[in-house]
Amino acid sequence: MWILLGIISLLALGVYDILKKVSLYNNAVLPVLFFSTLASALFFFPTWIMSYTVEGFDQYENFYIPAVSFKVHLLIILKALIVISSWILSFLALKNLPISIVSPIRSTGPVWTLIGAILIYGETLNTWQWVGMVVALIFFYLFSIAGNKEGVDFKTNKWVWFIFLATLIGTISTLYDKYLIAHYNRLAIQAYFSFYQVPIMALVLWAFWYPKRKKLTAFRWQWTIPLIGIVLVLGDFAYFYALTFEDSLVSILSLLRRSSVIISFAAGALLFKEKNILHKGLILLGIIAGILLIMMGS
């Protein structure tokens, strides 16, 4: 069962990347991000209401959203600020770069997470993990060379730096999640995070987009925009639900989630007709091989 849930999470994350790319085409970034976060919050709202009004609802532990302390609310707000920072950078990068360049950079997340775990949690690497990290970094370097052939200079292109920073900030979020999930209710974290990201994004929208909206790219509503938030919630829910099974293996589930990059990469080839797909695909397989070695070592 947990493998099936992992595959559902994989498919959801792959579709999530495709929906973002489609929604951002000739569209304003911040409004797209705001309405997608609003959709994810609304998706949780009925369950949150039932948790407080329906007697006996707490027996459904995979849907019940418990109350949390003021301290936990502050911790979740911090998580929302971290994640939204990563999302803004990644949405801007995805709007301006081919998805076949963005996806492999995002796939290196486990490498930076591993480095962060060493620095923050004092974790040590075994042989497989060292080999995997070196392999992933070598192919990441080769990928930067391949990007130059498309006129995307990894050293000077600001959108490349945006997606790289988004990946690093996402790593911080992953390491922070490790602490939150270990100490607090996972569904409460996911639900309240979805709620808090809405007012935060509303402030960002009001401060940085609304006053300059006539000079910037116009916002166009598309049905794919709310699906971004809904599909992400479903993917995360499937992943966290899979972790509740006693026989589940977090290393396998993490690998499945990272494999979603194959779906978004294939979309770049089939839907968006991007260039040098074969060359970039071979390098992507090298990065995934490195991540597989890291997961095997875990």
pLDDT digits (tens, 9 = 90+) for 1-26: 777 888 888 889 889 988 998 899 89
Q: Where are the alpha helices (DSSP H) in the chain?
A: 2-24, 29-53, 70-96, 99-107, 109-121, 127-148, 158-183, 186-204, 224-242, 250-258, 260-270, 277-297
Range with the lowest mean pLDDT among 88-92, 123-127, 192-196?
123-127
Query: Is residue 273 classed as helix, strand or coil in its secondary structure?
Result: coil
Average pLDDT on 180-209 reads 91
The amino acid occupying position 138 is: I
What pLDDT was estimated at residue 255? Answer: 64
What's the CA gap between 65 and 172, in Å, rounded? Answer: 25
Residue matched to tokens 């797209």: 32
Gap between the Cα atoms of 16 and 33, Å rounded: 12
Nearest to 284 by CA among 92, 24, 100: 100
Is 156 strand, coil or helix? coil
- Average pLDDT value for residue range 59-69: 87
Cα(186)–Cα(188) distance, integer angstroms: 6
Q: What is the pTM of this model?
A: 0.83
% the chain with pLDDT above 90: 33
Is residue 251 over pLDDT 60? no
d(CA 218, CA 211): 13
The mean pLDDT value of the chain amounts to 83
